[in-house]
Amino acid sequence: MLSDEPALIAARYGLAPLPVEGGLFRRTWAGPVDGTGRPSGSAIMVLLSIEDGLFSAMHRLPIDEVWHFYRGDPLEMLLLSPSGQARVEALGPDLVQLTVPAGTWMGARVADGGRWALCGTTMAPGFVPADYEGGDADTLCARYPGEADLIRALCRPDAPTHLTEDPDA
């Protein structure tokens, strides 16, 4: 159960569980849809909470994703590039926006010492469920062994690697 402030935020913005990836979310905008069913752009709000085990599981997308920090505590974001490089970024009051390049494995959780964070993401063109590819801990650890502990903390065992339906439906 969320503590007081995150629970109030979730209720105020109508946030609901984000299947597979994790956290609480709501799509706040989607642009006009093209002939393939893809919106020209999309935006979501997402709430992550350490107390409730709400984190953004390792995944990658074929389109750049811009993350925005709104309030709460900083996030620790693990970014694993296709070239084999790994880095951890702190999204929070000191860095309020971060672009995750297409094809980058990413996962996020509230940084040590924090409790919760309210963030958003924006994509153009917009997100469709077929874009989502969830990370497998063993595969990612073999490719990025120096980040194995954090990778395992940001993966959900037995979670599907692809979405079968629109989380907004």
* Rounded Cα–Cα distance for residues 158 and 151 (Å): 15
Domain assignment present for 168? no
Q: Which two three-digit tokens encode residue 99? A: 């672009």
CB-CB contact of 98 with 66 (8 Å): yes
Domain assignment present for 13? yes
Dihedral sign, Cα of residue 77, residue 46, residue 159, residue 126:
negative
Domain assignment present for 159? no
Angle at 64 between CA 30 and CA 16, to 5 degrees: 45
* Rounded Cα–Cα distance for residues 129 and 60 (Å): 12
Largest Cα–Cα separation, the chain: 46
Q: Average pLDDT for residues 135-157, to the nearest whole number? A: 96
Q: Which two three-digit tokens encode residue 148? A: 């194995």
Instruction: Give pLDDT tens digits for 21-67.
Output: 999 999 999 999 999 999 999 999 999 999 888 999 999 999 999 99
Domain assignment present for 166? no
* Structural domain count, the chain: 1
- Specify the pLDDT at position 56: 97
Domain assignment present for 114? yes
Q: Average pLDDT for residues 142-152, to the nearest whole number? A: 98
Domain assignment present for 167? no
- List Cβ neighbours of 83 (8 Å cut-off, separation of 6 or more): none
Q: Which domain holds residue 24?
A: 4-153
Domain assignment present for 160? no
Domain assignment present for 163? no
Confidence at 7, pLDDT banded by 50, 70, 90 = very high
Instruction: Assign residue 88 the CATH number of its domain.
Output: 2.60.120.10
* Rounded Cα–Cα distance for residues 146 and 137 (Å): 13
- Specify the pLDDT at position 166: 65
- Specify the pLDDT at position 19: 87
* Rounded Cα–Cα distance for residues 24 and 39 (Å): 22
Dihedral sign, Cα of residue 99, residue 101, residue 102, residue 106:
negative
DSSP type of residue 135 = P
- Specify the pLDDT at position 167: 63
Q: Is 134 helix (H, G, I), strand (E, B) or coil?
A: strand
CB-CB contact of 47 with 108 (8 Å): no
Q: Which of 21, 1, 48 is nearest to 156 (CA)?
A: 21
